[in-house]
Structure 1
Amino acid sequence: MYHIKQKPEDFIVEEISKNLSFEKGNYTYFILEKKNWNTREAIKAIASRLRMREKYFNIAGVKDKKAITKQYVSAFKVNSEKLQNLKIKDITITVLGKGKERLKLGQLQGNNFTIRVRNVEKEPEKINFIENYYDEQRFGGKNKILGRALVKKEFRKACWALRLKWEERDYIGALRKLGKDILRFYVNSYQSYLFNRAAEEYLKTKYQKYSKISYSQGIFIFSNEQTKNEKIPIFGFLTEIKNKKLKEIYEKIMKEDKIKKEDFIIKQIPELSSEGGERNLFVDVKDLKIEKENEKTFLVSFSLPPGSYATIVIKKIFTFC
Structure 2
Amino acid sequence: MRKSPYPIDHTLGLSWYISDLDGIGGRLKGDPEDFVVEEISDNPSSTGTGPYLICRLTKKNWDQQRAIKEIAGRLGVSHQRFGFAGTKDKRAVTTQFISIYKADPAVIQSLHIPDMTIEPVGFSDHQISLGDLKGNRFRISLSEYESLKPETTTDDIVAGLAGGVPNYFGYQRFGVQRPVTHLTGLDILRGSYEDAVRTFVSTPSTGESEEYAEGRKFYADTGDAKEALHHIPVRLSLERSLLHHLVSNPGDYAGAFHTFPRTLRSMFVSAVQSWLFNRALSMRIEEGRGLADPVEGDRIVFSDGRSDTVTTGTSRMAAMQVKRDRCRIAIFMQGSEPVQATGPDDKNMAWLMEQEGITSEMFGTASTFLETRFSGAPRSILLNSDVSIEMGENRMNFAFSLQPGQYATTLLREIMKADPIMMI
Q: TM-score, normalization: structure 1?
A: 0.85
**Does structure 1 conserve the Cα–Cα contact (< 8 Å) formed by 2:79 and 2:261?**
no
276-285 or 101-110, larger mean C-alpha shift: 276-285
Q: Structure 1, unaligned stretches of length 5 or more?
A: 209-225
Alignment of 1:252-267 (within 5 A): 252-266=351-365
Supply the distance in 2 between the matched residues of 1:239 and 1:113 (Cα, whole angstroms). Answer: 37
3-state SS of 2:97 partner: strand
3-state SS of 1:206 partner: coil
Alignment of 1:116-195 (within 5 A): 116-121=141-146, 122=148, 123-124=153-154, 125-126=157-158, 127-128=161-162, 129-140=164-175, 141=178, 142-161=180-199, 162=201, 163=219, 165=225, 166=246, 169-195=251-277
Supply the distance in 2 between the matched residues of 1:258 and 1:242 (Cα, whole angstroms). Answer: 18
| 1:9 and 2:33 aligned | yes
3-state SS of 1:198 partner: helix
**Rg larger for:** 2
**Does structure 1 conserve the Cα–Cα contact (< 8 Å) formed by 2:45 and 2:54?**
no
145-154 or 178-187, larger mean C-alpha shift: 178-187
Shift of 1:272: 5.6
Aligned to 1:236: 335
Shift of 1:270: 5.6
Deviation digits for residues 40-88 of structure 1 (CA, Å, limit 9, x no counterpart)? 2122222222222212221111111111111111122111112123211
3-state SS of 2:378 partner: strand
120-129 or 226-235, larger mean C-alpha shift: 226-235
Alignment of 1:59-74 (within 5 A): 59-74=84-99
**Does structure 1 conserve the Cα–Cα contact (< 8 Å) formed by 2:39 and 2:135?**
yes
Shift of 1:303: 0.2
Deviation digits for residues 259-318 of structure 1 (CA, Å, limit 9, x no counterpart)? 2222222278262662222211113213x2100113x52000100011110011111123
**Does structure 1 conserve the Cα–Cα contact (< 8 Å) formed by 2:331 and 2:346?**
no
Q: Structure 2, unaligned stretches of length 5 or more?
A: 1-24, 202-218, 226-245, 292-321, 419-424
3-state SS of 1:111 partner: strand
Supply the distance in 2 between the matched residues of 1:180 and 1:235 (Cα, whole angstroms). Answer: 21
Deviation digits for residues 203-258 of structure 1 (CA, Å, limit 9, x no counterpart)? 333239xxxxxxxxxxxxxxxxx977222112112041453111221122122222
9-18 or 265-274, larger mean C-alpha shift: 265-274
| 1:206 and 2:289 aligned | yes
Supply the distance in 1 between the matched residues of 2:129 and 2:52 (Cα, whole angstroms). Answer: 13
3-state SS of 1:230 partner: strand
Paired-residue identity, %: 31
Shift of 1:117: 0.7
Supply the distance in 2 between the matched residues of 1:108 and 1:206 (Cα, whole angstroms). Answer: 32
Supply the distance in 1 between the matched residues of 2:174 and 2:391 (Cα, whole angstroms). Answer: 32
Supply the distance in 2 between the matched residues of 1:178 and 1:28 (Cα, whole angstroms). Answer: 22
Which of the pair is proportionally richer in helix?
Answer: 2
Aligned to 1:196: 278
**Structure 1 pair 308/69, CA: closer, same or farther in 2 (3 Å)?**
same
Supply the distance in 2 between the matched residues of 1:27 and 1:68 (Cα, whole angstroms). Answer: 25
Corresponding letter in the other structure for 1:135:
G
Supply the distance in 2 between the matched residues of 1:94 and 1:273 (Cα, whole angstroms). Answer: 32
Supply the distance in 2 between the matched residues of 1:94 and 1:184 (Cα, whole angstroms). Answer: 28
**Structure 1 pair 55/178, CA: closer, same or farther in 2 (3 Å)?**
closer
| 1:43 and 2:68 aligned | yes
3-state SS of 2:26 partner: coil
**Does structure 2 conserve the Cα–Cα contact (< 8 Å) formed by 1:31 and 1:70?**
yes
Aligned to 2:17: none
Supply the distance in 2 between the matched residues of 1:97 and 1:297 (Cα, whole angstroms). Answer: 38
**Does structure 1 conserve the Cα–Cα contact (< 8 Å) formed by 2:188 and 2:269?**
yes
**Does structure 2 conserve the Cα–Cα contact (< 8 Å) formed by 1:23 and 1:100?**
no
Supply the distance in 2 between the matched residues of 1:248 and 1:9 (Cα, whole angstroms). Answer: 44
**Could you say what the CA RMSD is over the residues aligned between the two structures, in angstroms?**
2.4
Deviation digits for residues 167-206 of structure 1 (CA, Å, limit 9, x no counterpart)? 6644323443445443321111111100100111123332
Aligned to 2:403: 305
Q: TM-score, normalization: structure 2?
A: 0.66
Aligned to 1:28: 53
**Structure 1 pair 99/171, CA: closer, same or farther in 2 (3 Å)?**
closer
Aligned to 1:250: 349
3-state SS of 1:256 partner: helix
3-state SS of 1:62 partner: coil
Deviation digits for residues 83-112 of structure 1 (CA, Å, limit 9, x no counterpart)? 123211111122211221211111111100
**Does structure 2 conserve the Cα–Cα contact (< 8 Å) formed by 1:233 and 1:239?**
no
